Amino acid sequence: MPTYRFPILIWQDFEGGFTALPVERSFSRYAAIGRTANDAVFQLKEYLTYVYDKYPWTAEPDFADAKLIHLKAEARPEYQLEESVNRRLQTNIYPVDKTFTLRVACVHGKQQSGLLVCALPLLEIQFYYYEEKTLRELATTYVQESLKGLTPRELSRFLPPQSYQLDEIVLSLSHQERRYTYQPSLDTLSRVAEPLGDKQLRKQYSAAWERDAEVRDLVQRIGREKANVIIVGDGGIGKTTVLVNAVRDIERQTEPREEGEDEIFYKHRYWLTSGARIIAGMQYLGQWEERCEELINELSTINGTLCVGSILDIVLTGGREASASIAAFFLPFLQSGELRLVGEATPAELDACRRMLPGFVGLFQILDLQPFNRSQATAILKRAVETFTRNYRVAAADQLPELIYRLFHRFAPYQAFPGKAMAFLEGGFERAEVDGKNTLRASDIVQQFIDQTGLPELFLRDELPLAQEDAIAFFTSRVIGQAAACHQAASLVTTFKAGLNDPQRPIGVQLFCGPTGVGKTQLAKALSEYFFGHGEERNRLVRLDMSEYGTLGAAERLITNANGEPSDLIKRVRQQPFVVVLFDEIEKADAQVFDVLLSLFDEGRITDRYGRTTSFRSAVILMTSNIGAEKAASIGFDKASGRAFTSEIQAFFRPEFFNRIDAVVAFNAINEASLLAITRKELAEISAREGLLAYDTKLRCTERLVQRVAEAGYDARYGARPLQRTIEQMVVAPLSRFLLEHPEAKGKIVEADVTDDGVRFTQLS
């Protein structure tokens, strides 16, 4: 049998009548009048009993240890008159000469959540505070703000009664009185939110394995204490799973136990939504505010709680500034207890909320979810394997949990367990079922990880050796004439293979220096191919021209778009963190861009002003620059020129930026032998084009043609960069005409040679 205690204020007017009013603002619409104080209290108690009998989902009182203090506040009435000035109406304010001292009834106490609360019932004000010593000052401020702008006549409505006192009403309700026989109308709530306790929604989330204590804690806070709570943890750590399981436990406790009962509790009281869903379809000013009021009213009819997947989401949604957001609109309703809210946030998002909307986070209790250790993570994966084995009817190898933990811990340590790992495991079972396999093996998991990340099997399997000479051979076959740069790239590969790279930073941060057209971008492509070119998506090079980020405000554009959404760079890295990011011509960027990159190089992540964090710890960060190229060329390209590059770079960049670069890689100017080798390579790659493959035709180029193309395609200023265009004009275009005019060349070898009239093609076989 629930018992509710309502602190009430009773006062006597100057005509001898008595009024009884609940102190708590959410019940201030209930009042009773009588000839005596007992008569008023009796009527109020009868009416509250009727309310709970007819509307059993009415919120419970939450105002304990009530104490009454008498507060004196100065108020100065004023007149506001519209007067014509220069043919325009303007409002002029005329304050009254004297101030009036008002005696105000001030009741303070605390809620079940532990928050200190104060109510001024006669002014319909309720607020929260943190220290007893600030109570009178805060209450006086609220009174003066409430009475500001009133005329003497309007102010007279708030003159103190003849006397007032604090009392209490105790309601004892039977179990049956807390049942109901009909479903209230929840049109708005059903349109923009979904019940967390719904079975279809619960199926999307697993059990909260290894989180029993956190679930019990949350049940206590939101189920019994009726507190506002923010669940804080890294993305993927299981915040929503804990919430769903807590709601399930709460709603199980409220379901009827006896069979055959006609009346039941309203089952679903926790509703999940987002800022985008709340404002969806709202085009005009004030529309979403009206919808929020409807949400709050409907939640109050079922004693419900609103849940949001991201607290930051509602702080950013609704207006251009946080002060005009959904969260700001909810603020007074949270303060008065008319709305209960449960949300989620990462630590960075929580800090952003505190910064953008001070006082909002202070209305919530914080539930921190700590990361899982190795034993907990593998235990979760083992239980998940058992569940997926039953659901997909696919057996699994015993070593899968340990293998998945090792892969994610080694190559994606920034991704919190169990989020991505759990989705990855279920994806493996789905692929096995689609492929008709009876068993999900370790080799299947490794191949799936390769497909998603692009990492080669060489990195994933510790037992596979890697000789540095093999890595050097790979890079020198793709970047010609840059032996030192290829050695540096191979060193980055072997360091990562050995697991000696810093897991809290990007895989590597390197600056490529040298003249234009010597292979800097080509080496970046080769690194992208070696590290991440083995998955389903082969293009893993994200290239940014930093000359586009040389103006004021470029640092913000690097991270976010004009509408506050993540930039293309951030979207790409969030979607696929295993990439090579190339900042081309880095010296042309704005100075503030370097400040952003400091955090990227040092911590391997970028956090925007909204607290949204993007990890670059699985990425290779490369920069190109022409700084020092002219000076290095003047002294020859050897060790001395490398030192010239370094000295010029140090002079250009700030020390804290330069010191976060792992290596400054100097590129040589292209000599004749290198140019010829590059030309041979580019010409040889023509045979791999779709048209020749379709014709089953191979192209062979004479050395004389190689020499002519190399001479025509080299520019002292741009190096080998014009070479590709020259090949297209001198070789590819005439070859296409030859193949169309000679269909008999299918399946043959075609030799390309140069004559005085141009390039000539001959069928050899």
**Helix (H), strand (E) counts: the chain:** 31, 28
On whether the CB atoms of residues 267 and 251 are closer than 8 A, the answer is yes
Task: Report the distance separating Cα 574 and Cα 558, nearest Å.
Answer: 14
Q: Quick one: how far is CA 138 from the chain centroid?
A: 36
CA 397 from centroid of its chain's CA atoms: 34
The residues pairing with 514 across neighbouring beta strands, listed in sequence order, are: none
What is the structure's pLDDT at 319? Answer: 87
Asked if 652 and 513 count as a contact pair (C-beta separation under 8 A), the reply is: no
Name all contacts of 750-754 with Cβ < 8 Å and 24+ positions apart: 750/697, 750/698, 750/699, 750/700, 751/700, 751/701, 751/702, 752/683, 752/699, 752/700, 752/701, 752/702, 752/705, 753/701, 753/702, 753/704, 753/705, 754/702, 754/704, 754/705, 754/708
Mention every residue, 6+ apart, whose C-beta is less than 8 A from residue 102. 72, 73, 74, 75, 143, 147, 158, 159, 160
State residue 181's pLDDT score. 43
Copy the structure tokens of residue 203: 């199926």
DSSP string, 165-212: EEEEEEEE--TGGG-BSSPPP-HHHHHH-EETT-HHHHTTS---TT-H
**Burial class of residue 643, CB neighbours in 10 A (0-12, 13-18, 19+):** middle
- CA-angle at 466, arms to 461 and 472, nearest 5°: 140
- Enumerate residue ranges in the chain where pLDDT < 70: 1, 83-89, 174-184, 254-267, 629-644, 765
> For position 637, what pLDDT does the model report?
43
CA atoms within 13 A on the CB side of 21: 21
pLDDT (0 to 100) of residue 633: 52
Cα separation, 452 vs 535, in Å, equals 6
Given a contact cutoff of 8 angstroms between Cβ atoms, the answer to whether 379 and 209 are in contact is: yes
Q: Do residues 526 and 580 lie in contact, with contact meaning Cβ atoms separated by under 8 Å?
A: no
**pLDDT of amino acid 183:** 56
| Residue 232, helix vs strand vs coil | strand
Sign for the CA dihedral angle at 664, 604, 540, 455 comes to positive
List the beta strands (DSSP E) in 380-491.
395-396, 439-440
| Nearest alpha carbon to residue 293 among 188, 434, 150, 419 | 188
pLDDT for position 130: 82
Collapse the DSSP code of 162 into the 3-class scheme (helix H, G, I; strand E, B; otherwise coil) and give the result. coil
With a CB cutoff of 8 Å and minimum separation 6, the contacts of 371 are 233, 234, 237, 416, 417
Q: What pLDDT does 511 receive?
A: 96
What number of CA atoms fall less than 13 Å from residue 490's CA on the CB side?
20
Cα–Cα distance list, 749 to 687, 689, 745, 764 (Å) = 10, 15, 8, 5
Distances (CA, A) of 411 to 375, 461, 488, 499: 18, 12, 22, 9
Q: Is the peptide bond before 418 cis (omega within 30 degrees of 0)?
A: yes
Question: From the CB of residue 148, how many other CB atoms can be counted at a distance below 10 Å?
Answer: 11
Which pLDDT does position 260 carry in this prediction?
Answer: 39
Amino acid 609: pLDDT? 85
- pTM, rounded to two decimals: 0.71
- Contact, 361 vs 341, CB < 8 A? no
pLDDT of residue 254: 63
CB distance 129 to 119 below 8 Å: no
